[in-house]
Chains A and B, each alone.
Chain A
Amino acid sequence: SYVLTQPPSVSVAPGKTARITCGGNNIGSKSVHWYQQKPGQAPVLVIYYDSDRPSGIPERFSGSNSGNTATLTISRVEAGDEADYYCQVWDSSSDHVFGTGTKVTVL
């Protein structure tokens, strides 16, 4: 089965940049999607197809994908960005796969 690995936590000061990685075997050949989940709430799509943003998602959120690592970048981090973030891909042998999740803490 296909496995996506994320760091358990990332800490960042307000106004700085947070980078959340998602590692998987040759993930650069797949399309990666990212979700934000705040405590007690449903996930929200923040990036799809590696780097596209849904309407309503701030430009501060961006994504990239190459080789064995995809990255979600949050620029000019705000207190409201504190949440869990999950990457997700579709794999022909595993169907939909989510990453292990990263908790972003704003210092």
Chain B
Amino acid sequence: EVQLVESGGGLVQPGGSLRLSCAASGFTFSSYWMHWVRQAPGKGLVWVSRINSDGSSTSYADSVKGRFTISRDNAKNTLYLQMNSLRAEDTAVYYCARAPPTDYWYFDLWGRGTLVTVSS
């Protein structure tokens, strides 16, 4: 089955760190650009970060630049998001999403998300 499964969310104090994982299955993970998108409780979707298929190129939203790092391990079919210096406003469900190969402009597959809560 083609799917993305996120994990690693939880409760963390302000200033703390967390690493999210996204396990891919059912497709050739190494051929796809991957993204993280988040959604604060009751709010809309916000793009966070993306990485190209071989991990050589990354991009970040201004709100997380310098604090979050996206990476991938194509041998393990896994996408990561290292989140440091977390703030209350980072509280959200974090989704990993796939962009079609050679067609980077939208997301054709999403995971179910993992909840990150930043609170003391």
Structural contact, B95 and A86, CB atoms closer than 8 A: no
Give the residue of A42, A48, A54 whose beta carbon is less than 8 angstroms from that of B110. A42
Q: A97 vs B95: C-alpha distance in the bound complex, in angstroms?
A: 15
**Number of A-B contacts defined by CB within 8 Å:** 54
Structural contact, B110 and A43, CB atoms closer than 8 A: yes
Structural contact, B112 and A41, CB atoms closer than 8 A: yes
Structural contact, A31 and B110, CB atoms closer than 8 A: no
Contacts of A96 in B (CB 8 A): 35, 37, 47, 50
Contacts of A63 in B (CB 8 A): none
Q: Chain B interface: which size bin?
A: 20 to 34
Secondary structure call for the A interface? strand
B11 CB, min distance to chain A CBs, angstroms:
20
Contacts of B59 in A (CB 8 A): 95
Structural contact, B110 and A97, CB atoms closer than 8 A: no
Q: A96 vs B62: C-alpha distance in the bound complex, in angstroms?
A: 12
User: Known interface pairs A42-B95, A48-B106. Does A101 touch B112 (Cβ–Cβ under 8 Å)?
Assistant: no
Residues of B within 8 A of A (CB): 35, 37, 44-47, 50, 59, 61, 95, 97, 104-108, 110-113
